[in-house]
Amino acid sequence: MLLLLALNTQAQSPSDAVMMKNGEFCGGLFYKYGNWSKYWQADSLIENGNVGTLNIHQASAGFVLGITKYVNVYASLPYVVTSPTAGQVRGDRGAQDAGLYAKVKALDLKSDAGEFLLLVSAGVGIPSSSYIPEHNYAIGMGCVYGVGRAIAAYQSDMGLYGRASGAFHLRGNSEIIRGSYFTTQPFQSNLVDVPHAMDINAAIGYATEGNQIRIETETTVFRTLGGFDIRYWDAMFPSNNRDWVALGGNVQYIPQWANGFGVHANASTTLSGRNTPKVFTVGGGFTYFFKIWDKNSEASL
Amino acid sequence: MLLTLLILRTMNNTISRIGLLCVMASVALFSCKDDIPQGVDPVSYAYAQLDEDGGDWNPILLNAVTDINIPAPDAVGSAAYESELQEVLSLNANLSSTQREILDYWGNNTAIRWMEIAENLVSEYFLPPPPGLEGNYPGPSAAAPDQIPYFPFAHPPYAARMFAYLSAGMYDAAIASWHFKYEYDRPNPYEAVTGIQPYFPANDLPGYPSEDAAMTFVAQKILTAMFPLEADFIREQAIDCRDSRKWAGLAVQSDLVAGDSIGAYVARVYLNRSRNDNMKFAQIDKPTYEAFRAEAAARWGDAWPVWQNLEIPQRPVAITPKYGEVLPWWIPDVETVRPGPPPAIGSPEYLENEKELLELTKKATREQKETAFYWSDGPGTVSPPGHWNIIATESILANRFNPLRTVRVFAYMNTAIQDAGISCWDTKFYYFYPRPSQANPEIKTLFGIPNFPSYTSGHSTFSGAAAEVLASFFPEEAAYYENEAEEAGLSRLYSGIHFRFDCEVGVAVGHDIGGYAVSAAAADGF
């Protein structure tokens, strides 16, 4: 039922073009609040008086580590709480999907005016608790998924940058509890074929030297490949055809005087969608940066 | 330096582990995308027994199977029969891959598949009407079934009735088929002529008339009446099922035609009952409903506030408030089996139950939530009666029942389930007892609250009746059914939509009602 989850909750994410250097470590704690009161049933935007507004709170912990300046690894774990303002159905809560990603810098072309980067990232999301994906206010889809992404970015020496990326989301079956369900056809099983998906993300922004200040706006187009439309007055389901376009912004401030501490803020809103809620989110967090090992000592190996 | 080396080595291991995890996850992603089942696997097996005297068993609704006029078939050796055999020989010898697929799908116990088709139609049509532009939830219309909300809204009472008619009709058709099979004793095609390869395990069941044709005719008629928008789909299924009997070497044309005659007779009897069983009066309009509710409010005074729908916008009328007046199959009348009243709100017994429920809903364990969702059987599922048909199917297949015995189980179970529904609805609207969330708004639920009063729980009553009947047919599994029925009842407690007494009384009354069907089955000549 939720969307706009783990991605972009970290200061550096598997979908941006920022790389940590060899031995650099950045850990963070983030909080994000989202809500929706309308959702698209197929392509009509409707309300449900029995939901009112669904509030979504997500706290997550994560880190990124520079294995080398070409290879970074990421891990994150969100905890999600959902609570509707109307109706009798209780919200749900629990640890959601653990994310493990690696990002590789494949190409780095420097010129007088700027720098062109090509990166690829890949990773998996694995449900970390036995939450119930068929709950009306489920905290996740309950499936294992993999994401592969290619990222291209250009950073001018003036500080302006642009970035575009495209990703494929390979998604496994969701295991629900009940033994029968109907999509466009009946099933007598507790396995649900969650459709694969793809997204395209584009951003423009400004960063000062060393990324002490970064400010960017981004837009994401997400499409499932297959899936079915929610039927009239039916509940959302893990195998819905789920499309959305979202607009967001990210800001980070990592001042030199703070000895490695940084603050981050982000917000996003769904512009259009299909079988998905119209969500507004706002979030922020702290990161702490330090070097686990020094680059020079690697040279001595 | 040593320390750095150690760290680096750890890092390397971490990378390898992450890499391995990614590979494993990818493999898992691809490998679990197998076909997700829509029902049971192909149904083809040797029957544990043939029940040669099954034609003497009492039908459910027919006065006597001998009322049906089935003429003696052309004799073995006659030119007419020989030419029919030649047709089957030729069809049987040239099976296409499509024909094999159809044969594998239907198997040799086709009643299993018909019940499954019915279960799946319920999951498709079990979708509550939306509020509509005026917020007054216009209901489906049998006269205009293709307008949203589509007809029917296959809620549990509707499903229970549908399963009862379908299975009891197929049972009477099977008894009649058995009767004439052993009266005329014409062998099945593969015993009458050499060269036919029986597609399914061979047996000595006489061929004339075809029980599959008889049951298929009934199934097509009943299901089409119950799901009019599916007429084309159901007809295609019926044609496949019937035609495939020739391909399998199970029936010649005259076997099928005689089966059709039985099916037509039985379907007429059942459809006639269905037109006069009061179901058409079960869904009442708002003024009638308000008067009905006011009557209950006057009856119970201060004992409890009468139930009201809590949805926003509020649904104007409950689901089939007069289902308690629908004609039952076995119980003498609803008053005989109606349980005593639930505790008055504020009484010590009530307060104890409310406290239990409030605590449970706040602190339900993972196991309790699983039980709640496993038995949720709400919109988009096969419904509680459908759930019990799936359970019955497992036992029938495990015991390799022949088609006649199969539909005997389905018929007694589903008629008992409908009686349970009729009794439960009478109880619900006699007492009009509030749902827990109405009595105490602090009580939150795991899923939506059904649109009818609380006492007693429909799930529990359906389940008690089903378990009672299944236990009589499969005594060695009695404890399992009993446990399932209790779990089904408790699931409504765990989900916060019922008090414990709703469930416990429901299961107990369900058992009583199942007992009426069991007594009838015990005296049916089996």
DSSP B157-225: HHHHHHHHHHHHHHHHHHHHHHHHHHHH-PPPHHHHSTT---SS-------SS-HHHHHHHHHHHHHHH
Does residue A146 sit at the B interface (CB-CB below 8 Å)?
yes
Q: What is residue A21's predicted lDDT score, i.e. its pLDDT?
A: 93
DSSP one-letter string for B238-290: HHHHHHHHHHTTS--HHHHHHHHHHHHHHHHHHHHHHHTSSGGGTS--HHHHH
What is the average pLDDT score of chain A?
92
What pLDDT sits at residue A296? Answer: 59
Query: Under DSSP, is residue B53 helix (H, G, I), strand (E, B) or coil?
Result: coil
Contact B11 A67 (CB under 8 A): yes
Which of A140-144, B17-21, B479-483 comes out lowest in average pLDDT? B17-21
Model pTM score: 0.94
- Beta carbons of A179 and B390 less than 8 Å apart: yes
Cβ contact (<8 Å) for A123 and B7?
A: no
Q: What is the pLDDT of residue B526?
A: 86
pLDDT of residue B66: 96
What is the residue range of A293's domain? 2-300
Torsion of CA B206, B212, B218, B220, to 10 degrees: -160
Size of interface A-B (CB pairs under 8 A): 167
Beta-ladder partners of A169: A147, A197
Of the pLDDT bands very low, low, confident and very high (cuts 50, 70, 90), residue B94 is very high
Distances in Å between the Cα of B266 and the Cα atoms of B148, B178, B218, B412 are: 33, 14, 7, 17
Instruction: Quote the pLDDT of residue B42.
Output: 82
Looking at residue B25, its pLDDT comes to 54
pLDDT at B98 (0 to 100): 98
Using a CB–CB cutoff of 8 Å, tell me whether B25 touches chain A.
yes
Q: Do B22 and A173 touch (CB under 8 A)?
A: no
Beta bridge partners of A41: A44
At residue B7, does pLDDT exceed 80? no
Closest residue in B to A75 (Cα) is B18
- The pLDDT, as a whole number, for residue A13 is 86
pLDDT value, residue A2 = 44
**Rg of chain B on CA atoms, in Å:** 27
Single-letter amino acid, residue B475: P
- Decide if A113 contacts A95 (C-beta within 8 A): no
pLDDT at B117 over 90: yes
- What percentage of residues in chain B have a pLDDT greater than 90? 92
The beta-carbon neighbor of A144 closest among B4, B29, B369 is B29
With 70 as the cut, is the pLDDT of residue B1 above it? no
- In this structure, chain A runs to a length of 301
Which residues in chain A are closer than 8 Å to B123, comparing Cβ atoms? 180-182, 186
On the 0-12 / 13-18 / 19+ scale of CB atoms within 10 A, B146 is exposed
Report CA A122 to chain centroid distance, whole Å: 13
pLDDT above 80: residue B261: yes
Cβ contact A71–B15 (<8 Å):
yes
Contact B491, B506 (CB under 8 A): no
Number of domains in chain A: 1
Cβ contact A73–B445 (<8 Å): no
| DSSP for residue A228 | B
Query: Which residues 93-152 in chain B show a CB within 8 A of chain A?
Result: 116, 119-121, 123-124, 126-131, 148-149
Do the Cβ atoms of A100 and B149 come within 8 Å? no
Start-end of H helices in B340-457: 348-362, 366-374, 383-398, 403-431, 436-439
Is-contact B237 B68, C-beta < 8 A?
Answer: no
Mutate to test the interface with A, among B7, B10, B11, B237 (most CBs of A within 10 A): B11
Helix H or strand E segment including A46: strand A44-46
Cα dihedral B213→B415→B158→B340 (10° resolution): 180
Residues from chain A that touch B386, judged by Cβ atoms under 8 A, are 180
Q: Assess A173–B contact: CB distance below 8 Å, yes or no.
A: yes
User: In 10 A of CB B399, how many CB atoms?
Assistant: 17
Helix, strand, coil content of chain A in percent (nearest 5):
5, 60, 40
Report the Cα B146 to chain-centroid distance in Å.
Answer: 24
- Whether residue A169 lies within 8 A of chain B, CB to CB, comes out as no
Tally the residues of chain B. 526
To the nearest whole Å, the CA of A204 is away from the closest chain B CA by: 31
Tell which B residues from 191 to 250 touch A, by Cβ distance under 8 Å.
none
Out of A27-41, A281-295, B275-289, least confident range: A281-295
Q: Which of A74-83, B30-39, B421-430 has the lowest mean pLDDT?
A: B30-39
pLDDT tens, residue by residue, B197-235: 999 999 999 999 999 999 999 999 999 999 999 999 999
Instruction: Check: CB of residue B214 under 8 Å from CB of residue B267.
Output: no
Backbone dihedral region for residue B315 (phi beyond 0: left; psi -120 to 50: alpha; all else: beta)? beta
Q: Is A290 on the interface with B (CB under 8 A)?
A: no
Q: Which residue, among B8, B20, B26, B29, would best test binding to A if mutated, counting the most A CBs under 10 Å from its CB?
A: B29
Which of A186, A188, A233 lies at the smallest CB-CB distance from B128?
A233
| Rounded Cα gap, residues B227 and B151, in angstroms | 7
Q: Does B341 touch chain A (CB under 8 A)?
A: no
With H, G, I as helix, E, B as strand and everything else as coil, classify residue A129. Answer: coil
Q: Measured between CB atoms, does B374 come within 8 Å of chain A?
A: yes
Which residues in chain A have Cβ-Cβ distances shorter than 8 Å to B148? 232
Range from A4-8, B51-55, B254-258, B450-454 carrying the lowest mean pLDDT: A4-8
Q: Which residues of A touch B233 (CB under 8 A)?
A: none
Residue of B nearest to A236 (CA): B380
Taking the CA of residue A283 and the nearest CA in chain B, the distance in Å comes to 28
Nearest CA in chain B to A180: B381
Of A108, A111, A132, the residue nearest A119 (C-alpha): A108
Mean pLDDT across B354-362:
96
- Residue where the block lists tokens 């009322």: B67
Contact A233 B387 (CB under 8 A): no
The string of pLDDT tens digits covering residues B490-512 is 999 999 999 999 999 999 999 99
And the tokens for B444?
């939150």
Q: Which of B32, B120, B380 faces A234 most closely, judged by CB atoms?
A: B380
Q: Tell me, what's the pLDDT at A80? A: 96
* Residue position matching structure tokens 């190409």: A107
Question: A225 and chain B: CB distance < 8 Å anywhere?
Answer: no
CB within 8 Å: A71 and B496: no
A176 contact B CB<8A: yes
**What local confidence, expressed as pLDDT, does residue A273 receive?**
97
Considering only the beta carbons, identify the residue of A67, A134, A182 that sits closest to B373: A134
Phi, psi of B157, rounded to the nearest 5 degrees: -60, -40
> Nearest C-alpha of chain A: how many angstroms from B82?
43
Interchain contact A148–B (C-beta under 8 A): no
Least-confidence region, from A227-231, A297-301, B151-155: A297-301
CB contact under 8 A, B8 and A180: no
Surface of A (30-49) touching B: CB under 8 A: 49
Q: How far is A153 from chain B (nearest CA, A)?
A: 25
Rounded distance between C-alpha atoms, residue A277 and residue A270, angstroms:
8
* Chain B residues inside the 8 Å CB shell of A186: 38, 119-121, 123-124
Give the H/E segment covering residue B89. Answer: helix B79-93
Q: Does residue B346 sit at the A interface (CB-CB below 8 Å)?
A: no
| Residue B200 structure tokens | 């399914």
Evaluate if residue B11 carries a pLDDT over 70.
no
Instruction: Choose the closest CB to A182 out of B39, B40, B123.
Output: B123
Is the pLDDT at A200 greater than 70? The verdict is: yes
**pLDDT in the model for residue A6:** 37
Nearest to B177, CA basis, from B405, B482, B341: B405
Q: What is the CATH number of the domain that holds A29?
A: 2.40.160.40
Preceding peptide of B152 cis, ω within 30°: yes
C-alpha to C-alpha distances, B35 to A92, A195, A227, B40, B220, nearest whole angstrom: 30, 14, 15, 13, 28
Amino acid identity at B93 = A
Q: Among all residues of chain B, which has the CA nearest to that of A67?
A: B11
Closest CA–CA distance from residue B126 to any residue of chain A (Å):
9
User: What is the structure's pLDDT at B91?
Assistant: 98
Does residue A300 belong to the interface with chain B, where contact is any CB pair within 8 Å?
yes
Q: Is B28 in contact with A172 (Cβ distance < 8 A)?
A: yes
**Best residue in B31, B36, B357 for a mutation probing chain A (most A CBs within 10 Å):** B36
Cβ contact (<8 Å) for A234 and B496? no
- Chain A residues within 8 A of B313 when measuring between CB atoms: 49
What pLDDT does B20 receive?
54
B43 pLDDT band, cuts 50/70/90, is confident
Other C-beta atoms closer than 10 Å to the C-beta of B134 total 8
Mean pLDDT of B107-115: 98
Phi, psi of A294 (to 5 degrees): -90, 140
